[in-house]
Amino acid sequence: MEPGKSAFLFDLDGTLIDSVYEHVLAWHEALDDEGIPLAIWRIHRRIGMSGGLFSNMLLRETGMNITAERMDSLRRRHAEHFKRRSHLVRALPGARELLARLDELGLPWAIATSGRIETAAAGLDMLGVDRDRVPVVTRDQVRHAKPDPDLFLTAAERLGVGMDRAVVVGDATWDMLAARRARALGVGLLSGGYGENELERAGAARVYEDPADLLLHLDEVGGRS
Amino acid sequence: MEPGKSAFLFDLDGTLIDSVYEHVLAWHEALDDEGIPLAIWRIHRRIGMSGGLFSNMLLRETGMNITAERMDSLRRRHAEHFKRRSHLVRALPGARELLARLDELGLPWAIATSGRIETAAAGLDMLGVDRDRVPVVTRDQVRHAKPDPDLFLTAAERLGVGMDRAVVVGDATWDMLAARRARALGVGLLSGGYGENELERAGAARVYEDPADLLLHLDEVGGRS
């Protein structure tokens, strides 16, 4: 039996657009506004996970109990700080070319992000993603965000493909863990600022520098017509 | 023969103060001002190295030849962007307590940073470092910055200790490489956002989360009276 063609499920921030560091500092500013001290590297290591798990992490790291109201307020402040910074955000090298190449090869692809559509929309526009054609699953549409598998499972379902064909491309350990939980093949990119070994330990089958580097090696992970 | 007491040589940014991410984005903005596109994670991975090596890296990554004038202009823009962001910079957890503990133990310590005094001064003040008493070696004072060993060699010389007693504490692979080249013991901290494995591979004898975590384990690396 021949396996089906690969279908690619992409994370957005740090994977296709260069927005992770701005998100990290926007969270840092939001926490600072609320008088919650947290070192920046700890935020970086938790970025891309669901808000609920993020607030559990805050409880663990700071000892402060973060109520649902507090979390809502943090989320609003984060979105404001991020918007102020977002004029500096660019597509990552090779991102548009990689998506175009998948289209040429006739391989299905979708986007699955832990962010909300409010903050993700600008990034999708920057990449020229046609949301009438490409499935885009955001945090608003699923019960649990990463590292739960829901975002990737929903994205594959929208494409009409089984997880045995799914290749998850992400920059964070949470993407790789969610990929494993979804029984997809995880492919890590260094462009979000995690280390190679962190991604490998989290289950990445392969790690590339950025979308341009993945495009160069696309045949290694099923990228052929 | 009993070995001498340990002397601690500290990097500043990402090791004692939480400034790495702001520096990274200030460089990104400076490069953007000059029309030089570079993904943020690549800047993060090069932060803390000398300006000359940084411009070689730019040449390699972007193919653009960076003249001395261009590098001066970038440096000025970086300093401006960093200053605008620096109100958000805080001391890292445990940094002041760690330095106070070394004083209690009667162990000598110094600071050695690839930054210039212009951008480092605010961080030193934040930590309450008395520059009349504590040797502070900045990029202005040595020929080659990290990963060359000059900054750490000069700091040890100012303390009047040999490198066989020197413990270099830093957050970047460049600190660990400079420590090895100086024949010091390298101790890595995760608080600059590098991965544990990156620091170990670069030669860290031990890796801790941040200054607070190092303080808890100080006896492991010679921190006793």
Q: Are strands A206-208 and A185-189 parallel, antiparallel or unpaired?
A: parallel
Tens digit of each residue's pLDDT (9 = 90 or more) over B6-64: 999 999 999 999 999 999 999 999 999 999 999 999 999 999 888 778 878 888 888 88
Q: How far is CA B51 from the centre of its chain?
A: 14
So what's the pLDDT on residue A173?
96
In angstroms, rounded to a whole number, what is the distance separating the alpha carbons of residues B17 and A39? 9
So what's the pLDDT on residue B62?
86
Q: pLDDT band at A223, cuts 50/70/90?
A: confident
CB pair distance less than 8 Å for B28 and A44: no
pTM, two decimal places: 0.94
What percent of chain B lies above the pLDDT cut of 70? 99
What percent of chain B lies above the pLDDT cut of 90? 79
So what's the pLDDT on residue A1?
58
Token pair listed for B71: 């590098």
CB pair distance less than 8 Å for B25 and A88: yes
Write the CA distances from A223 to A103, A123, A135, A151, B222, integer angstroms.
11, 24, 19, 22, 52
In angstroms, rounded to a whole number, what is the distance separating the alpha carbons of residues A37 and B21? 16
Q: How far apart are the first and last CA of chain A?
A: 17
In angstroms, rounded to a whole number, what is the distance separating the alpha carbons of residues B190 and B68? 33
The residue type of A9 is L
Tens digit of each residue's pLDDT (9 = 90 or more) over B84-114: 999 999 999 999 999 999 999 999 999 999 9
Q: What CATH homologous superfamily does A7-19+90-221 map to?
A: HAD superfamily/HAD-like (3.40.50.1000)
Q: What is the crossing angle of helices A117-127 and A95-105, to 10°?
A: 70
The CA dihedral of B96, B98, B103, B107, to the nearest 10 degrees, is -140
So what's the pLDDT on residue B2?
66
So what's the pLDDT on residue B4?
81
Find the angle CA(B15)-CA(B19)-CA(B52) to the nearest 5 degrees. 85
Correct CATH for B7-19+89-221 of 3.40.50.1000, 3.80.10.10, 3.40.640.10, 3.40.50.300 = 3.40.50.1000
In angstroms, rounded to a whole number, what is the distance separating the alpha carbons of residues B27 and B19? 12
User: In which residue are the tokens 């994205």 written?
Assistant: A155
pLDDT over threshold 70, residue B222:
yes
Find the angle CA(A213)-CA(A107)-CA(A161) to the nearest 5 degrees. 120
So what's the pLDDT on residue B1?
58
In terms of Cβ atoms closer than 10 Å to its own Cβ (0-12, 13-18, 19+), residue A65 is exposed
SS3 B219: helix
So what's the pLDDT on residue B30?
94
User: In which residue are the tokens 């949470």 written?
Assistant: A174
CB B156 within 8 A of CB B7: yes
Query: Judged by CB atoms within 8 Å, which residues 62-121 of A form the interface with B?
Result: 88, 90, 92-93
Q: Are strands A166-170 and A7-10 parallel, antiparallel or unpaired?
A: parallel
So what's the pLDDT on residue A60?
86
Tens digit of each residue's pLDDT (9 = 90 or more) over A91-146: 999 999 999 999 999 999 999 999 888 889 999 999 999 999 999 999 999 999 99
Closest chain A residue to the Cα of B94, Cα to Cα? A39
Tens digit of each residue's pLDDT (9 = 90 or more) over A54-90: 878 888 888 888 888 988 899 999 999 999 999 999 9
User: Under CATH, which number does the domain A20-88 receive?
Assistant: 1.10.150.240
Domain spans of chain B? 7-19+89-221, 20-88
CB B184 within 8 A of CB B9: yes
* Minimum-distance CB partner of A41 among B41, B192, B198: B192
In terms of Cβ atoms closer than 10 Å to its own Cβ (0-12, 13-18, 19+), residue A72 is exposed
DSSP B4: P
CB A12 within 8 A of CB A120: yes
Whether chain B has a CB inside 8 Å of the CB on A13: the answer is no
In angstroms, rounded to a whole number, what is the distance separating the alpha carbons of residues A96 and A91? 8
Whether chain B has a CB inside 8 Å of the CB on A173: the answer is no
Residue numbers in B near A37 (CB within 8 A): 90, 93
pLDDT over threshold 80, residue A162:
yes
Find the angle CA(A3)-CA(A153)-CA(A218) to the nearest 5 degrees. 50
Three-class secondary structure assignment of chain A:
CCCCCCEEEECCECCCECCHHHHHHHHHHHHHHCCCCCCHHHHHHHCCCCHHHHHHHHHHHHCCCCCHHHHHHHHHHHHHHHHHHHHHCCECCCHHHHHHHHHHHCCCEEEECCCCHHHHHHHHHHHCCCCCCCCEECHHHCCCCCCCCHHHHHHHHHHCCCHHHEEEEECCHHHHHHHHHCCCEEEEEHHHCCCHHHHHHCCCCEEECCHHHHHHCHHHHCCCC
SS3 B160: coil
pLDDT over threshold 80, residue B210:
yes
Tens digit of each residue's pLDDT (9 = 90 or more) over A173-203: 999 999 999 999 999 999 999 999 999 999 9
Mean pLDDT (chain A) is 93
Q: What is the layout of strands, in order, in the sheet containing A7-10?
A: A136-137, A109-112, A7-10, A166-170, A185-189, A206-208
In angstroms, rounded to a whole number, what is the distance separating the alpha carbons of residues B158 and B149? 14
Q: Which residues contact B122 (CB under 8 A, 6 or more apart)?
A: B86, B89
Q: How far is CA A2 from the centre of its chain?
A: 30
CB A105 within 8 A of CB A223: yes
Disruptive mutation site among B40, B60, B89, B126 for chain A (greatest number of A CBs within 10 Å):
B40
So what's the pLDDT on residue A68?
86
Write the CA distances from B68 to A155, B59, B127, integer angstroms.
49, 12, 33
Residue numbers in B near A191 (CB within 8 A): 39, 41
So what's the pLDDT on residue A2?
66
Please give the residue that has the higher pLDDT: either A194 or A49. Answer: A194
